[in-house]
Amino acid sequence: MPHLPPLFSMTSPSSPAAVALGWLHTARFLTTAPRLEFLPPVGVPEVAFVGRSNAGKSTCINTLTQQKRLAFASKTPGRTQAINLFALGKQGETDAVLADLPGYGYAAVPKADKIRWQQVMANYLVTRESLRGVVMLCDPRHGLTELDDILLEVIRPRVEQGLKLLVLLTKADKLNRAEANKALSIARLQTAGGEVKLFSALKRQGVEETALLLWQWTHGADDHPALPADPAP
């Protein structure tokens, strides 16, 4: 029996979600850049994970790629301090890139550093040519904060021109059903009808839907992952 990533056992191996998860499982470290000017251009679509410090960005990337330690996740806020890129696709055939960005808003960071980082983020989101989509992660117990709003404002013109946006309400395992529904409605209002989903790394909630969306964003608007061809009769 070949080793299969854990999520394959929960999904039919030929379903579009399973194909998308298999694709995400190919993720490997590409490069790290302490500042924007060190970020190499990539000739493939890029999806950025942004959000407040401690929102669960790195954990989300690890969950989607079914790799325990691809992105650094930590109880200490501010763990991710550089832009880390991960390549997707078969070895030598990279077809997309995931970007794990440092979180913003961590209280203990000096104000000057916070402002500097906000500018870096804004620059990245406005100028990064390969950027195809943004996944904004938000801890629903805190809701979308002022910094999240600023960031949504920054990318609005690009979203109007086709940049994809998904807001993931993370750590959904900490909410009961009523709280989850309330958090969803509030976030949908705040993002003006944008796509919002509940996500839990712990309960693997929202994992398949998110995997499929990322696949679709990077492989063509309404595409479905290619299913294995039927065996010849």
Ligand X SMILES: Nc1nc2c(ncn2[C@@H]2O[C@H](COP(=O)(O)OP(=O)(O)OP(=O)(O)O)[C@@H](O)[C@H]2O)c(=O)[nH]1
Residue 58 engages Mg ion in binding (rule: CB under 5 A): yes
Closest CA to 26 of 64, 58, 57, 54: 64
Residue 118 engages ligand X in binding (rule: CB under 6 A): no
Report 4-43 residues binding Mg ion (CB under 5 A).
none
Report 79-118 residues binding Mg ion (CB under 5 A).
80
Stretch that binds Mg ion, among 8-16, 78-86, 111-119, 198-206 (CB under 5 A): 78-86
What minimum distance in Å lies between the beta carbon of 60 and ligand X? 7
Q: Which position among 78, 186, 197, 219 is part of the footprint of ligand X (CB under 6 A)?
A: 78
Question: Could you tell me the two tokens for 161?
Answer: 């021109």
Report 16-75 residues binding ligand X (CB under 6 A).
51, 53-59, 73-75
Q: Which does 132 bind (CB under 5 to 8 A by kind): ligand X, Mg ion, none?
A: none
Considering the complex, state which of residue 19 and residue 120 has its C-beta at the smaller distance from ligand X: 120
> What's the DSSP call for residue 93?
-
Q: How far apart are CA 213 and CA 225, in angstroms?
A: 10
Helix runs in the chain, H state only: 16-24, 57-65, 111-127, 146-160, 177-190, 207-219
b/e per residue 169-196 (b: at least 16 CB within 10 A): bbbbeebeeeebeebbeebeebbeeeeb
Residue 77 engages ligand X in binding (rule: CB under 6 A): yes
Residue 171 engages ligand X in binding (rule: CB under 6 A): yes
Q: Is 124 helix (H, G, I), strand (E, B) or coil?
A: helix
- Which residues sit at the interface with Mg ion, rule CB under 5 A? 57-58, 80
